[in-house]
Chain A
């Protein structure tokens, strides 16, 4: 090759290599489950088309009068006539209290509506009627499913059917189902299902539920287990091999073998552990062994192994309140979760003081207690490591923390998802919510 040809070749190679470097990128996530977690949003839980709301406010169920099945939807953008996508159907957003509504909305006449003083304060196509934004109408057909046209005022109003039935051919469709949800646990089945403890008018039961969209969970109509709590899924084979539940009176744990890999039916319980003060089990298969963790009297998280349907001791020491780092004045340990990776990750619900006291005009204002999630890990089933910080810290503002309890963690597409029971700053249950690693 002549010098000139070589010169041309090198010049071409240099020119093709020119270009601006990209933005500095963050370190990749290679160790899912250890955080940081980011808020993926509240989970909309649905029961037979009704939106499940926390039962803690004492308000009852509510229905809406509809002419027929409401139009299906995946988001509110697909709804017209002022309807909102609630549990997969375009209906008027029914409510009993403001807690049923989105932030900034009022509950007026059984429907959520934005407060207003004039038409200018409402969205396009709405009108300010008696302090609430309403959709104007001339006939029922102008209103969303579950609403009726008040021809006197010319606005759509919710057609609720809490006590009385519905007029004419309309039927009452459930819209609000007050239920307390607790202790969710991923099933790990292809239908993206979880088991969850449900407490309602019928008592306490364990139900199966399926994620029909990333943030929508549909509860099965029938209970999987009645009179038990805190389900923990035992993986096995191609799906679920069994479910461990806690007894309602906290007297022990029972093992119920699954009749099918998706755990749609369970066999009769066999006692796994009998001890006073046993709550909230968690199960994971770590290095070929089925590990069981459970909370004991709010003081300890204890460990064992399930071998041939019986409980065997584990060498791993119990987690005690003093082991928690990142929270002060820890008063309770509960609801663990396990995730088996190259190490066994142990998530523990910790009740303690997460925030710092504030000082106002020289007076110290102590921070409130709240639930949060602490991370522990064992690399070998014998040694226990504790994270130096709480794993989850959602804040209402710079010093008020929200509550997170009863986590269940799974890894999907290389990142962990943490499903948990959320609470507001006052500790009142707020339903299920999801955190996700980026």
Chain B
């Protein structure tokens, strides 16, 4: 490595990057990115440009990728299994770019579809710990799209796009239990609206020969929830007749804004990728949902309500490192990352252990068919979750003093196809 490249690498490592609650950011994108511990921002495969390296969307050609990934988290809380869900889902990626005069223009789109549904949402009592990125209900369907342009002579690329997710809202559930001369009967309606929300994706890169530098910014996303449930009961001589409204408002699966600075250096068949994420967890809204219950009977009791307080998280800086060896028909990759906890210092009930990730993977080129260059990649990663003690200031609270620890295993495979 040249001294200039070394300086660039050190400068890149001095920055920071993100750890987001999205499945993509937790476990990487595609088998190649996963094997490199998501350090491939400056050297992303163009098919995953929308998620990994936005400016790579301008790489000429037509590419598609189909992948599947499973992540199994074995976290314990106080020695008992935390019961977190496995993350499993299909990744679909598409990229198209062509040369137009002195520049390359392209677009890329990526979609993650978790098994079993568009999203898992989970609300927990406020007396329980706050799960941050490991919440079982944090996986959701995502759609990211970017458009990119790069100037071939200068090696400068720019990209702009958006990450789209859905919020849940609507009129909620309306349940009516009236009674007439034929007896009680039930009327009900459920109205759940899934409104789109978008967060910006911005990318910039510079490439000259074996060296590339890149920056990526992703705005914060989350799933706001606002669902009322109204039950109207009107039975003869029933002391509980009346209207009860339960309204849940909150934000789940928060994915903070993140700025990533990254580099790539090639030497022969070897490629070194680095990235540093700066993730703005400090802007996180209350993780838990607020809850309001309004009971209106013949009598009029109070309206109990509760609003979760802000979690007071701290921003994190995550270094990532990847090394790959690329031969004519096969590749081997390793990666590592150290992702510090966003949990504030004691006292805290936010569970977010510091994480060390080690990954290993490889790929093979498949025989060309109908002019399509195909590659098959696979990876496996181990994330060690360092021991974290919950220390609340009140010993009467559940889980005060409980220790969270564990690990996560991630594996995935993806099939890439490209038309030059």
Partners in one complex: yes
**A-to-B contact residues, CB < 8 Å:** 3, 6-7, 10-11, 13-14, 17-22, 24-31, 34-36, 342-343, 345, 355-356, 358-360, 365, 375-379, 383, 385-388, 397-399, 414
With a cutoff of 8 Å between Cβ atoms, the chain A residues found around residue B88 in the complex are 17-19, 21
Q: List 30 A-B contacts (CB under 8 A).
A: A7-B366, A10-B376, A13-B411, A14-B413, A18-B115, A21-B85, A21-B86, A21-B116, A22-B86, A24-B137, A27-B124, A28-B82, A29-B398, A30-B78, A31-B78, A34-B396, A34-B398, A343-B401, A358-B301, A359-B300, A360-B299, A377-B396, A379-B395, A385-B393, A385-B396, A386-B396, A387-B396, A398-B240, A398-B297, A399-B299
Q: Which of B297-313 contact A (CB under 8 A)?
A: 297-302
- Expressed in whole angstroms, the Cα–Cα distance for A378 and B401 within the complex equals 13
A24 adjacent to B120 (CB under 8 Å): yes
Which of B79, B115, B400, B411 makes the CB contact (< 8 A) with A20? B115
Per-residue contact bits, chain B 108-127, to A (CB 8 Å; 1 contact, 0 not): 00000011100010101101
A28 adjacent to B78 (CB under 8 Å): yes
- Expressed in whole angstroms, the Cα–Cα distance for A383 and B68 within the complex equals 53
With a cutoff of 8 Å between Cβ atoms, the chain B residues found around residue A385 in the complex are 393-396
B376 adjacent to A28 (CB under 8 Å): no
With a cutoff of 8 Å between Cβ atoms, the chain B residues found around residue A21 in the complex are 85-88, 114-116, 120
- Expressed in whole angstroms, the Cα–Cα distance for A387 and B396 within the complex equals 5
B365 adjacent to A25 (CB under 8 Å): no
A17 adjacent to B70 (CB under 8 Å): yes
Which of B80, B131, B298, B364 makes the CB contact (< 8 A) with A7? B364
A31 adjacent to B402 (CB under 8 Å): yes
B395 adjacent to A343 (CB under 8 Å): yes
Does B83 have its Cβ within 8 Å of any Cβ on chain A?
yes
With a cutoff of 8 Å between Cβ atoms, the chain A residues found around residue B125 in the complex are 36
- Expressed in whole angstroms, the Cα–Cα distance for A360 and B68 within the complex equals 60
A30 adjacent to B378 (CB under 8 Å): no
With a cutoff of 8 Å between Cβ atoms, the chain B residues found around residue A375 in the complex are 396
In the complex, the chain B residue whose C-beta lies closest to that of A25 is B83
B299 adjacent to A35 (CB under 8 Å): no
**B-to-A contact residues, CB < 8 Å:** 68, 70, 77-88, 114-116, 120, 122, 124-125, 127-129, 131, 136-137, 239-240, 295, 297-302, 329-330, 364-367, 376, 378, 393-402, 411, 413
Given A14-B413, A21-B114, A27-B128, 7 other A-B contacts at CB below 8 A? A3-B366, A21-B86, A26-B83, A27-B83, A34-B397, A365-B299, A377-B395
With a cutoff of 8 Å between Cβ atoms, the chain A residues found around residue B297 in the complex are 398
- Expressed in whole angstroms, the Cα–Cα distance for A435 and B29 within the complex equals 48
- Expressed in whole angstroms, the Cα–Cα distance for A387 and B393 within the complex equals 11
- Expressed in whole angstroms, the Cα–Cα distance for A355 and B301 within the complex equals 9
- B396 CB to nearest A CB, Å: 4
In the complex, the chain A residue whose C-beta lies closest to that of B131 is A27
With a cutoff of 8 Å between Cβ atoms, the chain A residues found around residue B84 in the complex are 25
- Expressed in whole angstroms, the Cα–Cα distance for A14 and B66 within the complex equals 12
Which of B78, B131, B376 makes the CB contact (< 8 A) with A3? B376
Which of A6, A27, A36, A342 makes the CB contact (< 8 A) with B376? A6
- B98 CB to nearest A CB, Å: 30
- B270 CB to nearest A CB, Å: 22
With a cutoff of 8 Å between Cβ atoms, the chain A residues found around residue B366 in the complex are 3, 7
Known contacts A27-B83, A27-B129, A398-B240; is A356 also within 8 Å of B301 by CB? yes
- A350 CB to nearest B CB, Å: 14
- Expressed in whole angstroms, the Cα–Cα distance for A18 and B70 within the complex equals 8
A27 adjacent to B302 (CB under 8 Å): no
Which of B82, B114, B397, B411 makes the CB contact (< 8 A) with A17? B411
- A415 CB to nearest B CB, Å: 11
- Expressed in whole angstroms, the Cα–Cα distance for A37 and B166 within the complex equals 36
With a cutoff of 8 Å between Cβ atoms, the chain A residues found around residue B396 in the complex are 34, 345, 375-377, 385-387
From DSSP, what is the main secondary structure of chain A's interface residues? Answer: loop
With a cutoff of 8 Å between Cβ atoms, the chain B residues found around residue A14 in the complex are 68, 413
Known contacts A27-B129, A28-B80, A30-B79; is A35 also within 8 Å of B398 by CB? yes
In the complex, the chain B residue whose C-beta lies closest to that of A376 is B396
B137 adjacent to A360 (CB under 8 Å): no
- Expressed in whole angstroms, the Cα–Cα distance for A400 and B148 within the complex equals 65
> Which of A21, A365, A379, A397 has the most chain B CB atoms closer than 10 A to its own CB?
A21
Which of A7, A24, A36, A399 makes the CB contact (< 8 A) with B85? A24
- B88 CB to nearest A CB, Å: 6
B376 adjacent to A13 (CB under 8 Å): no
A378 adjacent to B395 (CB under 8 Å): yes
- B416 CB to nearest A CB, Å: 13
Known contacts A343-B400, A379-B395; is A18 also within 8 Å of B68 by CB? yes
With a cutoff of 8 Å between Cβ atoms, the chain B residues found around residue A35 in the complex are 127, 398
With a cutoff of 8 Å between Cβ atoms, the chain B residues found around residue A397 in the complex are 239-240
- Expressed in whole angstroms, the Cα–Cα distance for A225 and B346 within the complex equals 49
With a cutoff of 8 Å between Cβ atoms, the chain A residues found around residue B301 in the complex are 355-356, 358, 398-399
Which of B115, B376, B393, B397 makes the CB contact (< 8 A) with A19? B115
A342 adjacent to B401 (CB under 8 Å): yes
- Expressed in whole angstroms, the Cα–Cα distance for A7 and B411 within the complex equals 15
- Expressed in whole angstroms, the Cα–Cα distance for A19 and B393 within the complex equals 42
- B29 CB to nearest A CB, Å: 16
Which of B137, B302, B367, B398 makes the CB contact (< 8 A) with A31? B398
In the complex, the chain A residue whose C-beta lies closest to that of B80 is A28
With a cutoff of 8 Å between Cβ atoms, the chain B residues found around residue A22 in the complex are 85-86
- B398 CB to nearest A CB, Å: 5
With a cutoff of 8 Å between Cβ atoms, the chain A residues found around residue B299 in the complex are 358-360, 365, 399
Known contacts A3-B329, A14-B68, A398-B301; is A27 also within 8 Å of B82 by CB? yes
B397 adjacent to A28 (CB under 8 Å): no
Known contacts A6-B376, A10-B378, A356-B301; is A25 also within 8 Å of B397 by CB? no
- Expressed in whole angstroms, the Cα–Cα distance for A386 and B393 within the complex equals 11
- B82 CB to nearest A CB, Å: 6
- A338 CB to nearest B CB, Å: 14
With a cutoff of 8 Å between Cβ atoms, the chain B residues found around residue A24 in the complex are 85, 120, 122, 136-137
- B222 CB to nearest A CB, Å: 17
- B385 CB to nearest A CB, Å: 16
> Which of A26, A30, A36, A377 has the most chain B CB atoms closer than 10 A to its own CB?
A30
- Expressed in whole angstroms, the Cα–Cα distance for A76 and B239 within the complex equals 31
With a cutoff of 8 Å between Cβ atoms, the chain A residues found around residue B83 in the complex are 25-28
In the complex, the chain A residue whose C-beta lies closest to that of B122 is A24
- Expressed in whole angstroms, the Cα–Cα distance for A416 and B163 within the complex equals 46
In the complex, the chain B residue whose C-beta lies closest to that of A391 is B396
- Expressed in whole angstroms, the Cα–Cα distance for A391 and B400 within the complex equals 16
- B59 CB to nearest A CB, Å: 24
- Expressed in whole angstroms, the Cα–Cα distance for A110 and B330 within the complex equals 89
